[in-house]
Chain A
């Protein structure tokens, strides 16, 4: 079913909207949640909360890119769940991603002001736009989708070591860009 048709079901408060969403984007949402949470029950809870939020938000919201919008909702819910539970549970997914992203943090000596989250999002948009498409896709797949380095390496038919190097270079590039603008996180 087309996205517009699914959104139309939400607008008409037709409960088939949920099943059609699950049919088309269930696996996508699950993979995002799983890459952050790694625990099946939490993933299920997260995905169900995503559908609930879609039900409560549409209308009035009318997402232009329904798939990406659902992905954002899932990611937000998964991060919140991670924040809520990470002291009680040991999550492998997001912890690994966070430890990698620590490479991007600029040195505090060189920075002049602390960047706000929204400002940081805008900065990331500009930085992503400056990347070659292939690099941008890789960065998004690793740090937005949370896909594993080994899985990506397998898909791109390169050694995991080489994929890890490529990711490291991207993180260094982000760090340099932040330092160049004198941003602190």
Chain B
């Protein structure tokens, strides 16, 4: 019995304001569109996951080459090495051995000084690094890539940031200067660079070393070290 009235109501609805018709229709289209956006985002995430699956093993491969000394850190896309072994080995040498070792090191230094120097590496990506813990080293991604590509065939000119309990020392601090002096004493080619760009002073702890010197870095157990290719920091 009510069907006739319902039909009248339904028919009357046809001619409601066009604004309301458009409003409902646009809402439908918008929601459909947002479903596409969600799917698009899901596909994009999947794409990045696939890329990550291919890219992460490359980072691990590089780490595994230096497996005895280096731990790979995925979380901050960095390499975190423990320099303790190198220092311990040095201390265990006897006096006679020390003399021979010094001669070897001098010869080695002469040999390595003739190697070409790398201070930059083309890398488009961005990375975020955690502060190195005491007794550990972190290598920037461009430096890792450069070491992966050139190995021990070159010298790496790097800027070193020194940390204690995850806090970075100012480059012109006494602690850093002492570190530079200590490393120079054990045949590292190190330097303290200072310049003023017209507005402010810049100080850098610069080190020039082979891949082995960086990976087996003879650091101080109380400090953490962050290594950057020279052009990353000093330019």
Query: Which residues of A are in contact with B by a Cβ distance under 8 Å?
Result: 28, 64-65, 67-69, 71-72, 75-76, 79, 94, 97-99, 101-102, 104-105, 117-118, 120-121, 124-125, 128, 133, 136-137, 140-141, 143-145, 147, 155, 185
Contact = CB atoms under 8 A, between A and B. Distances in A.
B3 interface: yes
B24 interface: yes
Nearest to B2: A102
Interface stretch (B7-15, B110-118, B141-149, B194-202): B7-15
Contact of A105 (B5, B15, B24, B31): B5
11 contacts: A65-B21, A67-B21, A69-B18, A79-B14, A98-B3, A98-B10, A101-B6, A118-B15, A124-B16, A125-B20, A137-B24
B6 to A, nearest CB: 4
A125 B15 CA distance: 9
Interface of B: 2-3, 5-25, 27-28, 31
Contact of A128 (B5, B20, B28): B20
Contact of A71 (B17, B25, B27): B25
Contacts of A104: 6, 9
Nearest to B15: A121
A30 B11 CA distance: 18
A152 B123 CA distance: 49
Contacts of B2: 102, 105
B24 A140 contact: yes
Contacts of B8: 117, 120, 185
Contact of B12 (A97, A124, A145): A124
A65 B24 CA distance: 13
B10 to A, nearest CB: 6
Contacts of A124: 12-13, 16
A3 to B, nearest CB: 11
Nearest to B5: A185
B18 to A, nearest CB: 4
A72 B10 contact: no
Most interface-central of A97, A136, A144 (chain B CB within 10 A)? A144
A79 B9 CA distance: 12
Contacts of A118: 12, 15
A145 B3 contact: no
Given A121-B12, A155-B31, 16 more contacts: A65-B22, A67-B25, A72-B18, A99-B6, A105-B6, A117-B12, A120-B8, A120-B12, A121-B13, A136-B23, A137-B23, A140-B16, A140-B24, A143-B10, A144-B16, A144-B20
Nearest to B4: A185
A14 B133 CA distance: 76
Contacts of A101: 6, 9-10
Contacts of A64: 18
Q: Which 5 A-B pairs have the closest CB atoms?
A: A68-B18, A140-B24, A185-B5, A120-B12, A68-B21
B12 A75 contact: no
B13 A144 contact: yes
A138 to B, nearest CB: 8
Nearest to A65: B18
Contacts of A128: 16-17, 20
